[in-house]
Amino acid sequence: MKQCRICNSNTQQIISFGKMPIANGFVKKPSSKEFVFTLKIAFCPKCYMVQLGETVPPEKMFHDHYQFFSSTSKGMEKHFKKLANHIIKLIDNKKKPFVVEIGSNDGIMIKHIANAGIRHLGIEPSVNVAEVSKKFGVNVSSVFFNKKTALDINKKYGKADIICGSNVICHIENINSVFEGVAELLSDDGYFFFEEPYIYDIVKSNSFDQIYDEHVYYYSGLSVSNLAKKHGLELVDMKHQDVHGGSMRYYLKKITKNKVSTSVKKYIDHEEKLKLHELEGYLSFKKKIDTVCSDLIRLLKKLKSQGHTIAGYAATSKSTTLLNYAGIGPALIEYTSDTTPSKIGLFAPGSGIPVKSYQYFLDDKPRYVVLFAYNHKKEIFAKEVEYRKKGGKFIIYFPKVTIE
Ligand code: TMP
């Protein structure tokens, strides 16, 4: 990909991770026939969007056996309940408000909107995941959100007071079509907001494993503000979220005489200080990534040579980039335990590391575990007090490799 998907300018490559499988593509049996693509990210010097160089057709990632369920973490449950309450407050003055969530997953957020008796629609193309949300009384449509589907929704339900999405707006390659859809569906004083991993945090804390097939865009205030303008929208607020290793929630409104929060300038100033509006700001990133990978391999080999069992903790999509780029497989990490029942018995994409149950980990008590769900560290450390008390050690790899 040479042209920016937003503004069609020539992009500049930041880093290539080489051939990668689908991050969430857990397999029944490791095989050399797994689908691969070249994972690389590029920067647009005109609109500042950081984006994947090559994308994967959405049907390969989001299908009827998609393995990502949002409600696997108590921390995220809490986070999304808080977000639902925030939405309910925002529409407090509306008579018959209508809330649309793009990528409603298993209903982790929108079930609270449904419970409050508010008119709503979840959009979730992965049918198996959408089915889960229906059990909570969520009204859900299994389509991809774009201009056409937005027009259909508008016809059936009228304008939306809130359109929102979490960890999904960065997934959609044809983002211009999503924004066109938002411009059609949003009421004149409505809010469109979304939260996604924040490129500032990724660069600053070196959390490069946020880079994988599903994440087509790596947003900043700089790039979202340009994208919004293109579609008659304005970035009016930014609120940092302490989830997924650092996320940003962007609030957009139709361009009128909006009051823009001082946070927008504050965060954009931070981004410019890190030079995220120039290729230069991303150059040290590759060097830091390579250091983490080589330090981690050196540590795992040393522990292995001392006879220790090393396991992984949580079979996350994120770990696919690290494992495949660093070339780590079952010879170094015997298995990864995970609490998602449908992942157990499968193998991690590319690396072929088997996924075992959480109970397996509890019985096995490996001396070392690599924390692949570092974004849930607080919750996991609270849960694993006993394991750590008895000598169990977590290997953390961001921002650098440490043992805790
Ligand atoms: P995420 O980091 O993309 O949210 O993925 C979370 C994965 O981690 C999911 O497969 C469930 C797993 N997990 C555990 O196995 N144990 C835990 O305590 C937590 C919080 C998550």
In the prediction, which pLDDT does 71 show?
66
Please state, as a whole number, how many other Cβ atoms lie within 10 Å of the Cβ of residue 141.
17
CA-closest residue to ligand 1 atom 15: 338
In the prediction, which pLDDT does 188 show?
96
Exposed / middle / buried, residue 378 (Cβ in 10 Å: 0-12, 13-18, 19+)? exposed
Measure 317 CA to ligand 1 centroid, in angstroms. Answer: 9
Measure 72 CA to ligand 1 centroid, in angstroms. Answer: 6
Question: Could you tell me the two tokens for 280?
Answer: 């230069």
Question: Could you tell me the two tokens for 270?
Answer: 């931070």
C-alpha 102: how far from chain center: 14
**pLDDT, tens digit (0-9, with 9 covering 90-100), for 166-206:** 999 999 999 999 999 999 999 999 999 999 999 999 999 99
Whether the per-residue pLDDT at 241 is higher than 70: the answer is: yes
Whether the per-residue pLDDT at 275 is higher than 70: the answer is: yes
Q: Which atom of ligand 1 is nearest to the CA of 358?
A: 15
Query: Distance between terminal CA atoms of the chain?
Result: 41
Measured CA to CA, the distance from residue 218 to residue 209 in angstroms comes to: 12
Measured CA to CA, the distance from residue 89 to residue 85 in angstroms comes to: 6
Testing ligand 1's pocket by substitution, the residue of 69, 73, 77, 357 carrying the most ligand atoms inside 8 A of its CB is 73
CA-closest residue to ligand 1 atom 5: 316
Encoded amino acid at 242, one letter: D
**pLDDT, tens digit (0-9, with 9 covering 90-100), for 110-160:** 999 999 999 999 999 988 889 999 999 999 999 999 999 999 999 999 999
| Pocket (CB within 6 angstroms of ligand 1) | 72-73, 314-318, 338-340, 343, 373, 375-376, 379-380, 383
**pLDDT, tens digit (0-9, with 9 covering 90-100), for 23-32:** 999 999 998 8
Q: What are residue 254's DSSP bridge partners?
A: 233
CA-closest residue to ligand 1 atom 8: 314
**Average pLDDT of every residue of the chain:** 94
Question: Could you tell me the two tokens for 370?
Answer: 């690599």
Taking each helix axis from N to C end, the angle separating 221-230 and 175-185, rounded to the nearest 10 degrees, works out to 60
Which pLDDT band, with edges at 50, 70 and 90, does 10 fall under? very high
Whether the per-residue pLDDT at 1 is higher than 70: the answer is: no
Question: Could you tell me the two tokens for 68?
Answer: 């990502």
Measure 84 CA to ligand 1 centroid, in angstroms. Answer: 22
Measure 162 CA to ligand 1 centroid, in angstroms. Answer: 29
Measured CA to CA, the distance from residue 201 to residue 240 in angstroms comes to: 10
Q: Which atom of ligand 1 is nearest to the CA of 373?
A: 2
In the prediction, which pLDDT does 375 show?
86
In the prediction, which pLDDT does 69 show?
67
Which pLDDT band, with edges at 50, 70 and 90, does 354 fall under? very high
Query: What are the φ and ψ backbone dihedral angles of 81, each rounded to 5 degrees?
Result: -65, -40
Contact call for residues 268 and 221 (beta carbons, < 8 A):
yes
Which residue shows structure tokens 């929208």? 233
> Could you tell me where the DSSP H helices lie in 195-307?
199-205, 221-230, 262-273, 280-305
**pLDDT, tens digit (0-9, with 9 covering 90-100), for 18-60:** 999 999 999 999 988 899 999 999 999 999 999 999 998 877 7
